[in-house]
Structure 1
Amino acid sequence: MENLMASIIIPVYQAEKYIRRCLDSVIHQTYKDFEVVIIDDGSTDKSGSICDEYASRDHRLHVYHQDNQGVTAARYAGMKNAKGKYLFWVDADDYADVHLLERAMQVIDREQADIVVWSTITYVHGKETERKIWKEQPLSDWKRDSVLSKCSVLWMFCAQKKLWDKVNYPMDMAHAAEDGDIAMQLFMNAQKVGVVTDPMYYYQDDTPHSVTHGKSSFWYFDNYQLWRNRLRVCERNYPESIDYCAQRALSCAVKSYCLDLKLKDLSDSNKAELIRFLTEAKERPISGRQKEKFLSWAIRNKFDFICELYVRHKLKNTR
């Protein structure tokens, strides 16, 4: 285990319908020098016991059970318990091609890459809806893509553990967006990125316990924080993309504040942060987004009844 090359980390929460498919895709990898670190984040269904069942039959699997703390804490626990030189991530409701590790390690051996990215396929209710095909490109483009949300999910790539040791974990993004923030940090610290052009990962986009379902004021607040952080990176490195990030930070901040008027799940400090950003954004030239600019004006001037009308309309249209 001391010179282990790969750790596959699987955060698990309420995934009994899919977890066997996920684990089967992992344990049958054609590359053999790996471990599997499973973090059961307080599942109340049979997910944890299914993972224990697999671990009892395969010594490469290590299961850790913890009280429910959210996906960011689960990822952190997985990283801390991993012993491999490279960390791979598989979500419990997805699955990997059995050649994933082998193909990634070929790139690592050939190019001494810090990060290897692979192409992916997305399924909704069993139907293929998207193929994300990556090609070789300069390191500077990989970095920019990670900032602009083009390469921002952890299951799309592996990275050396030494890069993970530099990550400032966004523990305040427990509901969404932590992948994007972490990915940006990893790519910005990378010196070499390689790619597997063939699809190696299969993403299931219709599972009820995915953090991308049920967009609450928390969901928008976390995404506001992500785009705010991306905005700061662009201010230092990519001035041509400042407006792009500012638009999205503004949109998420407005929606988070407005939804909270109905859901009342943000803290006072969360709301103060949103108002502070919207006040600062007033002085920033942001193109388009007229609806969000109007709602920002209403929030800053405490015309919450306007925001409540917007929320009523938005919730009606999403039922």
Structure 2
Amino acid sequence: MLVSFLIPVRNGEDTIDQALESVLSQGEEVLEVVVVDDGSTDGTASRIEGRAERDGRVRLVRRPPGGIVSALNAGLALCRGQFVARMDADDISLPGRVRRQVEFLRRHREVDLAGCLVEAASLSGKLSPGVLRYVEWSNSLVAHGEIVREIFVESPIVHPTFMARRSFFEEMGGYREVPWAEDYDLILRAACRGKRFGKVPEKLLLWRDHPGRLVRRDPRCKRRALFRAKAHFFRLMKGISRVGVVGAGTSGKKVARALVDEGVEVEFFVDNRESPPGRAVMGRPAFGFPEGIPGDFLRRVRGIHLVLAVGEEKGRDLLVKLLGSEGFVEGRDFTRFL
């Protein structure tokens, strides 16, 4: 018994056939495909039933609408394979995905949760710059150290690429109903427990974006909710009680509020604005350096962990380079939240 695929769906009649075909054609490693229909009102269920009649590996679970987390957990309870793989009803598993991920987990027994690289596509036109940036960033993180180093930037493993031993999901207690995205929550909880991550360094999933995709509609996937998740697990994982926030704009203030709500004291803000004497942001000292943060300032604050909340990519990259030149190590001395 090898791989159980877990696919939750609601009103996916336009894409479910392609999704199922891409999984079933992976070969004999696929034991079953557990499809949880979470209250569809279109023809999704009849399409799945038709496929189940032709291929007994397809198992349909119909239930009233209860949301993604309860659908995932209902499906997990039925998975019988040694490994459980995730996919969504609008995605495509590319040829060789199952074989390559199973080989990877068998070869790297220290890895608890595996992903792969993704190829992004749009079902409704051009891909947005945000999606392209996220995919490029996620695909750049392959090894465990890279994934953990940037785990607070964004969810580093695309959810439909997940594959893990069934025992991993059981040990983690499945998915949780929390105010932020359930896949990011699972990754962060696993990191807190010292679990290890990795990716097959090949594009094995076609990740298809469209306006109706849950990540675009669900408030749990929006920036404010993600900041709450980052702040919550930052305190749990690092045990840091005071920080300096680099970035005093809208995002910097949101990050700071989320950290304060989790009991992390924000000592000061730093940005690139002109700073009159006594300038404050949220009642904290704010230091502005239009020409870049000088080394003597960084040396003075060396004992305080820096949280980077700089959204502009070029400025963020220059800042990371500057910190590195001063001997700051990412993860140990500073953490990116964007």
Describe the SS at the equivalent of 1:22. Answer: helix
Among 58, 61, 64, which residue is 2:55 paired with? 58
CA distance in 1, matches of 2:23, 2:4: 11
Once the two structures are superposed, the pairs formed by residues 1-319 of structure 1 within 5 Å of their partners are 4-112=1-109, 113-124=111-122, 125=124, 129=132, 130-131=135-136, 132-134=138-140, 137=143, 139-167=144-172, 169-173=175-179, 177-189=181-193, 192-208=196-212, 210-214=213-217, 216=219, 219=222, 222-236=225-239, 243=245, 251=254, 277=261, 285=268, 287=270
1:127 to 1:32, Cα distance in 2 relative to 1, 3 A: farther
TM-score for the superposition, normalised by structure 2: 0.65
Whether contact under 8 Å (1:234, 1:241) holds in the other structure is: no
Residue identity matched to 1:123:
A
CA distance in 1, matches of 2:16, 2:162: 20
TM-score for the superposition, normalised by structure 1: 0.69
Identity %: 20
1:31 to 1:196, Cα distance in 2 relative to 1, 3 A: farther
CA distance in 2, matches of 1:164, 1:22: 23
Q: How many residues align?
A: 266
CA distance in 2, matches of 1:117, 1:77: 22
Whether contact under 8 Å (1:153, 1:180) holds in the other structure is: no
Whether contact under 8 Å (1:117, 1:196) holds in the other structure is: yes
Q: Write out per-residue CA displacement over residues 146-203 of structure 1, whole angstroms, 9 at most, x where no aligned residue.
A: 4442514322331122221232533134xx5111111222344465544311100111
CA distance in 2, matches of 1:222, 1:228: 10
Answer with 1 or 2: which has the greater Rg: 2
Q: Gaps spanning 5+ residues in structure 2: where?
A: 274-279, 284-338
1:56 to 1:281, Cα distance in 2 relative to 1, 3 A: same
Which structure has more strand as a fraction of its residues? 2
CA distance in 1, matches of 2:214, 2:10: 11
Q: Gaps spanning 5+ residues in structure 1: where?
A: 255-273, 298-319
1:98 to 1:218, Cα distance in 2 relative to 1, 3 A: closer
1:61 to 1:251, Cα distance in 2 relative to 1, 3 A: same
Describe the SS at the equivalent of 2:217. Answer: coil
CA distance in 2, matches of 1:103, 1:85: 15
CA distance in 2, matches of 1:50, 1:81: 21
1:285 to 1:43, Cα distance in 2 relative to 1, 3 A: farther
Whether contact under 8 Å (2:9, 2:88) holds in the other structure is: yes
Residue identity matched to 2:261:
F
Counterpart of 1:308 in structure 2 is none
Which structure has more helix as a fraction of its residues? 1
